[in-house]
């Protein structure tokens, strides 16, 4: 990775090793944010039983988290203008407030508000961390750097969600909210001191313009619109499937809570390998070519659900393939998107997150009703169609781009 500029080193004592440490701690905090985002999906039936509500009601509750990603465009330009430190700290602190509030007041309305705040936490944290990394790494190595930075997402599935299953089984459905809340509170304190030397981001004049001007430049760019369309549709496809993942595995194979958490371990392995593939391959084959290849394979993987999903091992195999290819596609796209507006990375990445969150809201809200309407055949058809729409958006946006 490229060492931060000399003026930043002198102002904050930031060396290359310190930069790597900052990113590592921020990744751990991001894993907490992502765990809060992801654990309701496989454990939606348990949350429904604990709250004494229906599965569609939990779908609405879960959708509250990604819905707040629509606020991400407000946070990204703030990071461009004032520096990313304050936005990162606010994001982690907000997660602690949300999770502890839900832990102490376990009511549907409170959990709804908690997931809204947790979503705001992610909306603030993600664009600032991605922009922080992109500013310090040259484009020819961007896929490698973003692939490494995104491992906090796989960590939430690989470690966080299985731990949530164990906590729920042993201490009740409220216990994960306590654990995530306390851990994120500690993370806020560590980042406060670790990032204390960071001032404003070194950005150009455009980054200091108004929010409206930043959004306007993004929306007038065809490649940027291709990225946003891709983000919406591929996220909708993934959440349409993931929203009913727990119900599918529970109904078809009668898995316990701990077994459900362990099955998500397969998803974490797939995502980790997808991020490793981005870090090791995407810069070599080209980021745009990597997005096209990964998305086509994602659609094919969804299409294999009726064939492989007839047994528990086959279902785990198809889960692995889906999340391997989807993660490769998304992280490679993020790597490409960081260079569309170098002077406004926060604005661009926050717009991407807003589009992705919109897709996740749509997928999560559709998941319950589509599941009740036609079970996995309808879920499969919907995910394949949405993934192909994502590929079409990307090809349209980048058809004249090298």
pLDDT above 70 (res 199):
no
Hey, what are 106's tokens?
A: 């376990």
pLDDT above 60 (res 332):
yes
pLDDT above 90 (res 324):
yes
The confidence band for 214, taking pLDDT boundaries of 50, 70 and 90, is: low
State residue 297's pLDDT score.
95
CA-nearest of 318, 311, 312 to 384 is 318
pLDDT (tens digit per residue) in 234-256: 999 998 998 887 778 777 777 66
State residue 387's pLDDT score.
95
CA-nearest of 91, 187, 90, 79 to 135 is 79
Q: Are 356 and 69 in contact (CB under 8 A)?
A: yes
Top-ranked range on mean pLDDT: pick from 268-282, 316-330, 367-381: 316-330
The confidence band for 165, taking pLDDT boundaries of 50, 70 and 90, is: confident
Question: For the chain, what are the domain ranges?
Answer: 11-397
Look at domain 11-397 and name its CATH class: mainly alpha
Tell me what the mean pLDDT of segment 67-73 comes to. 69
Is the pLDDT higher at 390 or at 129?
Answer: 390
Share above pLDDT 90 across residues of the chain, in percent, rounded to a whole number: 20
pLDDT (tens digit per residue) in 168-194: 888 888 899 999 999 999 989 888 888
SS (H, E, C) 265-299: HHHHHHHHHHHHHHHHHHHHHCHHHHHHHHHHHHH
């Amino acid at each position: 990775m490229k060492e931060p500029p000399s003026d930043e080193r002198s102002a904050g004592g930031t060396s290359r090793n310190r930069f790597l440490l900052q990113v590592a701690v921020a990744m751990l905090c991001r894993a907490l944010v992502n765990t809060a985002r992801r654990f309701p999906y496989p454990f939606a039936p348990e949350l429904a039983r604990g709250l004494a509500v229906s599965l569609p009601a939990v779908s609405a509750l879960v959708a509250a988290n990604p819905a707040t990603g629509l606020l991400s465009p407000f946070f990204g330009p703030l990071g461009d203008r004032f520096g990313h430190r304050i936005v990162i700290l606010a994001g982690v602190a907000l997660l602690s407030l949300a999770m502890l509030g839900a832990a102490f007041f376990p009511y549907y309305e409170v959990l709804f508000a908690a997931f809204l705040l947790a979503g705001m936490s992610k909306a603030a944290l993600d664009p600032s961390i991605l922009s922080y990394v992109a500013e310090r790494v040259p484009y020819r190595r961007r896929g490698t750097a973003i692939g490494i930075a995104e491992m906090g997402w796989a960590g939430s599935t690989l470690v966080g969600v299985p731990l949530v299953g164990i906590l729920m089984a042993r201490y009740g459905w409220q216990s994960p909210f306590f654990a995530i809340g306390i851990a994120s509170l500690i993370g806020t304190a560590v980042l406060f001191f670790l990032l204390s030397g960071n001032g404003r981001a070194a950005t150009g004049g455009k980054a200091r313009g108004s929010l409206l001007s930043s959004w306007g430049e993004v929306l007038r760019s065809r490649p940027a619109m291709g990225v946003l369309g891709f983000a919406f549709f591929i996220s909708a496809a993934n959440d349409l499937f993931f929203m009913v993942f727990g119900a599918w595995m529970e109904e078809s194979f009668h898995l316990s809570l701990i077994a459900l958490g362990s099955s998500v371990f397969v998803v974490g392995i797939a995502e980790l390998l997808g991020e490793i593939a981005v870090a090791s391959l995407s810069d070599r084959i080209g980021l745009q070519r990597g997005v096209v290849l990964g998305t086509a394979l994602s659609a094919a993987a969804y299409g294999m659900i009726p064939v492989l999903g007839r047994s528990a091992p086959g279902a785990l195999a198809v889960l692995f393939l889906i999340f391997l290819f989807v993660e490769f596609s998304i992280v490679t796209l993020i790597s490409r998107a960081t260079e569309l507006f170098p002077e406004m990375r926060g604005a661009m990445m926050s717009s991407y997150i807003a589009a992705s969150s919109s897709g996740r809201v749509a997928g999560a809200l559709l998941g319950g009703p589509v599941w009740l309407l036609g079970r996995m055949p309808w879920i499969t058809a919907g995910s394949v169609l949405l993934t192909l729409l994502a590929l079409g958006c990307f090809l349209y946006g980048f058809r004249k781009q090298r």
